Structure 1
Amino acid sequence: MSLLVLVRAHVMDNWPRLLRYSGTSAVGIVLGQTILRVCYDLFGWSGLASNLVAFLIANIPVYHLNRLWVWDRYGRSQWGREVLPFWLVSLAGLALSSLTVGLVDAVTNNGWFISAASIGAFGAVWLVKYAVCDRYLFGPPSEDDGPSEQVREMAEDGSQSAGIR
């Protein structure tokens, strides 16, 4: 099977999750860019410092939105399986973003160009981050996870209850 066929099948089977992931990304962009522009335009910080602060603050709610809303994972976060890998993938976006923001900041003092460089770099990592989250971090639990956090108990009347969280 070709990669294009596999990607198309995944999109068709998972379009609600992809829409939620896109929504989470939109929240991250709005929050991150607002913080970036406040730090850059109002506080007069460098593009790199503004980008770093925006990343650190915006990535916290983005992690939780991805975990809870996009992949429906409840309970305590698993530091080694979820939190650390999520931040490592996110740091790849930060590294690329910092490089592009630093280069653009050296050439211009235009906040709009700084924002475009930041968004473009994080956008380049966006699909890779989705694949890592879906396949390894928040996707179906592995057998070594023990009892699944996503298990839902059937109530006596047949409706679903919250189950163990």
Structure 2
Amino acid sequence: MDISDAERVIWSAWRFRHGHVRRVHRRQLKEHAAEVIGALRVAEARQDIDADTAEAFEDLAKMLLKIAERYAEGRTGALLDPEDLADSTKAVNREWVRLAGLGVTVVGTAAGASLLGLPDPATSVLVGVVALVAVGLLYGARFLPTDLVDIARGQSRR
């Protein structure tokens, strides 16, 4: 079981569930999210370590259910109880690395295309395709070939 989708939601849960948050409270919510993700990673690692994998899966499922219930209630500062967080270490959010990599890739492609003297229509298509591929690689998004063609043409399925 991969918990990367749950991690992504937990990192940003406080931002989506609450409007403007004061700086002190924001820091507490970020720290709690890091502790929750650390606990999830420990529970996920138990699948490979413990002899009883069924119990490890059950514990992870209970933990995810508790997080989902509390998120739905708007309790993003108490997604897990302190006893659930006891034997875990805080996770580190490295989302800024992905975002910086995406930005450098897209801007570098645009700058490279302009230095090569490509026409504007070709540059825009090239930058769009490179941006899609970079998003796919950095964030794990999967696009069908037909979706890529539609995006390159500027069409959408909505």
- Same structural fold, with TM-score higher than 0.5 when normalized by the shorter chain: no
Larger Cα Rg: Structure 1 or Structure 2?
Answer: 2
**TM-score by structure 2 length?**
0.30
